Structure 1
Amino acid sequence: MSTTYTLDTATSRAHPVPEPVRRLTVPAIAARKVAGQTAEPVVMLTAYTARMAQLLDRHCDMLLVGDSLGQVIYGLDTTVRVTLEMMIAHGAAVVRGSYRAVVVVDLPFGTYEASPEQAFATAARVLRETGAAAVKLEGGEVLAPTVRFLVARGIPVVGHVGLTPQAVNALGGYGARGRSEAEAAKILGDARAIAAAGAFALVVEGVVEPLAREIQGAVACPVIGIGASAACDGQVLVIDDMLGMFERVPRFVRRFDSLAERIDAAAAAYAAAVRSRSFPAEAEIYRPKP
């Protein structure tokens, strides 16, 4: 038995209650890929709040507390400005709101690149203060020693290669990567190095489709695509993009809803009801008891 957190949806309050441990595990995710094939693709979405985690949890194998929260939650122009405190606060909320999925938290820019020791201190704090199962970091071969250092000390790691948003200033934008032979070879080498260092899964973002297929076949761990290929071992999207919360989304996003339009319509209906004084109605107010 383990004390976890569930949400009382009637009140939106979190209550600690004893429950059997039912979460998927890092080894279970890694074991999805056998002899280069994954019979059941890994389903992954980003989540930033307890309530969203609760809604997504039953459908997802992994929930990623991505540093994309800087843009979709805080309105920042890049993920470079995201702080460790932001990631910890939202990571803890997602863990409280979920019980099944493996929760992974991004390490923000500047908190792990200097040395393996810096990365360990950051990752240990993230896991300790959030209750998450793993961390994700961006970068290729140069960070392989860091991944190896973390894994050897009991910290599960998800790698991230290809288009790495934290390096947007160096990359010069968010365009697809791997179009040239040299760049494709570099990204493939990065993927192999990070996987060989012990990452239990690898996010491959924004690369040309043939390269994504090559990476999937070249590494033993599950490859989770975002703007990559249907041949990947799993897929991840930013939840706000998938739900249609923004007018503009990357080419690789499929909108599974148009939630922004529905929120706009609901807010308009609410405003009209307030202005016409039809809200609150009799059933929505308190009367003195007789």
Structure 2
Amino acid sequence: MSVNKIIKRVTTNTILAMKANGEKVSMLTAYDYSTARALDDAGIDVLLVGDSAANVFAGYETTLPITLDNMIYHASAVARGAKRALVLVDLPFGEYQGTPEDAFKSAVRMMKESGVHALKLEGGVEILENIKKIIDAGIPVCGHLGLTPQSINKFGTFGVRAQADAEAEKLKSDALALQEIGCFAIVLEKIPAKLAKEVSESLSIPTIGIGAGNGCDGQVLVVNDMLGFTKDFKPKFLRRYMEMYDGMVEAATKYAEDVKSGNYPNESEQY
């Protein structure tokens, strides 16, 4: 008689314990059920349903156009595919920058309709009350500082953030404030490695870096970038583990040739 293997779910407590034990946290984005299943089987700790779906799935230049309904759709698919990983999702632009009550309503709707485990929100002290309202309701929140893509029109560039002393000091104080109100982790995006290491060492909650060096408590990449599916995106921090775009072009070319030659389907592939 076969015995089903018991899969222990990664939780926010797991992530906090990993920081305490010096174990790095692995995080990748996911936007669909099949990818979520594969990454879950690979043992990835956290699957981030990023608003980067606006870029890699819909072809927008920024993350701003994606809606709450869009994000719930992607998050629901990932939640169904992940049996072990903690599923974290971005609240999209415009859903939490208003009043604390508006942010709370968006957060509740996401949690109820998608089945995810936690939310990620961009920003520091400017939205502190809104984040606190969500956390006080029992919803786990991961912060996001540094390059915050939802603010791209304010920044005007996707360049490295917090290189100037004033911005670096604000980032450090924002990180402490997010920890103080109960965030369980903070993503640090595209900031100097020295600063990211300093922030990480000052916090009891884990930091997850993307373009922020090796001093963070974990790392995250957009899965399409990591797999080489986004052909022309080549930032300094990106390590490609596959060349999926080239492989897909090669496979599709061969498929088209086999169809046109009559080689597909062959006798063994027919009923």
Q: What TM-score, normalized by structure 2, do the two folds share? A: 0.95
Q: Which residue of 2 aligns with 1:146?
A: 130
- Write out aligned runs for 1:234-273 (5 A): 234-246=218-230, 247-273=232-258
Distance of 2:144 and 2:237 partners within structure 1: 17
Encode CA deviations 1:174-230: one digit per residue, 9 max, x unaligned: 000111111111211221111211100100000011110111012211000000021
- Write out aligned runs for 1:167-186 (5 A): 167-186=151-170
SS in 2 for 1:145: helix
Q: Which residue of 2 aligns with 1:50?
A: 33
Match of 1:102 among 86, 101, 112: 86
Distance of 2:233 and 2:196 partners within structure 1: 24
Q: Which residue of 2 aligns with 1:3?
A: none
Tell me how many residue pairs correspond in the alignment.
Answer: 266
CA contact (8 A) 1:61 1:102 kept: yes
Match of 1:280 among 252, 265, 271: 265
Distance of 1:103 and 1:254 partners within structure 2: 23
Q: Which residue of 2 aligns with 1:22?
A: 8
SS in 2 for 1:80: coil
SS in 1 for 2:64: helix
Q: Give the AA of the match of 1:211.
A: L
Instruction: Specify every segment of 5 or more residues in structure 1 that has no aligned partner in the other structure, as ranges.
Output: 1-17
Q: Give the AA of the match of 1:57.
A: D
Distance of 1:116 and 1:19 partners within structure 2: 42
Cα drift, residue 41 of structure 1: 0.5
Cα drift, residue 19 of structure 1: 9.2
Q: Which residue of 2 aligns with 1:75?
A: 59
- Write out aligned runs for 1:91-170 (5 A): 91-170=75-154
Distance of 2:235 and 2:179 partners within structure 1: 27
Match of 1:85 among 69, 89, 92: 69
Distance of 1:111 and 1:146 partners within structure 2: 11
Distance of 2:233 and 2:145 partners within structure 1: 24
SS in 2 for 1:108: coil
Distance of 2:6 and 2:110 partners within structure 1: 24
Distance of 1:116 and 1:32 partners within structure 2: 31
Distance of 1:20 and 1:144 partners within structure 2: 38
Encode CA deviations 1:40-78: one digit per residue, 9 max, x unaligned: 101100000000000001321110000000000111111
Distance of 1:27 and 1:154 partners within structure 2: 14
Distance of 1:140 and 1:249 partners within structure 2: 28
Identify the range of structure 1 (20-29 vs 175-184) with the bigger mean alpha-carbon deviation.
20-29
Q: Which residue of 2 aligns with 1:218?
A: 202
CA contact (8 A) 1:145 1:197 kept: no
CA contact (8 A) 1:89 1:130 kept: yes
SS in 2 for 1:114: coil
Backbone CA RMSD of aligned residues: 1.4
Q: What TM-score, normalized by structure 1, do the two folds share? A: 0.89
CA contact (8 A) 1:143 1:194 kept: no
| Larger strand percent | 1
Q: Give the AA of the match of 1:200.
A: F
| Larger helix percent | 2
Distance of 1:249 and 1:116 partners within structure 2: 38
Instruction: Specify every segment of 5 or more residues in structure 2 that has no aligned partner in the other structure, as ranges.
Output: none
Q: Give the AA of the match of 2:123.
A: G
SS in 2 for 1:79: coil
Q: Which residue of 1 aligns with 2:18?
A: 32
Q: Give the AA of the match of 1:197.
A: I
Cα drift, residue 143 of structure 1: 1.6
